[in-house]
Amino acid sequence: MDSQVMVALALSLVGGFSTSLGALIVIVNQAPNLKMLGLLQGFAAGLMLSISFLDLAHNAMNSIGFLKGNLWFFAGVVFFAMVANFIPEPTHFQHSEVKSKKKNGDEGGKDMVKKHRRQVFFSGIITAIGISLHNFPEGMAVFLGSMKGLRVGLNLALAIALHNIPEGVAVALPIYFATQSKWQAFKLATLSGFAEPLGVVIVAYLFPRSLNPEILEGLLGSVGGVMAFLTLHEMLPLAFDYVGHKQAVKAVFFGMAFMSASLYFLQLSIPEDIGL
């Protein structure tokens, strides 16, 4: 397998295994700190927005022109909007809901919990399917970023990995509540993350090894559109729900500042012959 594909695969595995980290938070803690998850989601949103607008879209417009760059960017937005329309919305199950049901009376609470176990399990399966389908194009994004250069691939992988931790929680929490099995919760969350490296493997065999530079820049502009839509459609609303608007917005700008600094230092530290 080509070394470029191996790098992309390794980077996507980091993102994939981040869902496993989210599952570990659930099975170790049982009641994850939602405020911390919200701040993490806001931080990851800042990383993603910075990559989308200040790196991918910016480079596409500089390389292939303002009009073509914008057309590719919004093609990515429309593509992922259509994909999201057919994907079940992830259910971010809150552990506090279970506690409140138990407090409403021992017997009644137990009956209520039993009654909802199957429903919660089904919601966990739907969430796992939805997140798997979301992770697949993220793997494609990491592959295309890695074709451009190590810096772009690393930045995308870092942002997506942070984004995937709360997704692992979203899968593991309802499964663990419904089955009382730590292994089932961990397994399903991990499997949903493996859609990301699968996306790398499939797209590596669909795309020619030497893409036209203009097409590659256009595709990366589209990746910027996909990342921007994903951030505004999913990540920011979740951060707002968990920590409120003020804290989430602070986390977003902190993430953007962090990514801007990382772009600068990566340019200084990574040799030019790697292909940045």
Q: Where are the domains of the chain?
A: 3-88+112-269
pTM: 0.64
Q: For 124-179, what is each residue's pLDDT tens digit? A: 676 677 677 667 777 878 888 887 777 788 888 888 888 788 778 778 877 887 78
Sign for the CA dihedral angle at 30, 31, 35, 36 comes to negative
Could you give the CA distance from residue 101 to residue 96 in angstroms, rounded to a whole number?
9
Q: Which residues of the chain have pLDDT under 70?
A: 1, 30-34, 87-120, 122-124, 126-127, 130, 133-134, 208-211, 262-276
pLDDT at 126: 64
Residues 6+ apart with CB under 8 A from 5: 143, 200, 201, 204
pLDDT at 59: 85
Residue 135 sits at the vertex; the CA angle it makes with 245 and 97, to the nearest 5 degrees, is 50
Instruction: Look at the block and give the residue holding tokens 């859609």.
Output: 195
Q: How many CA atoms lie within 13 A of 221 on its CB side?
A: 25
Structure-block tokens of residue 271: 């040799």
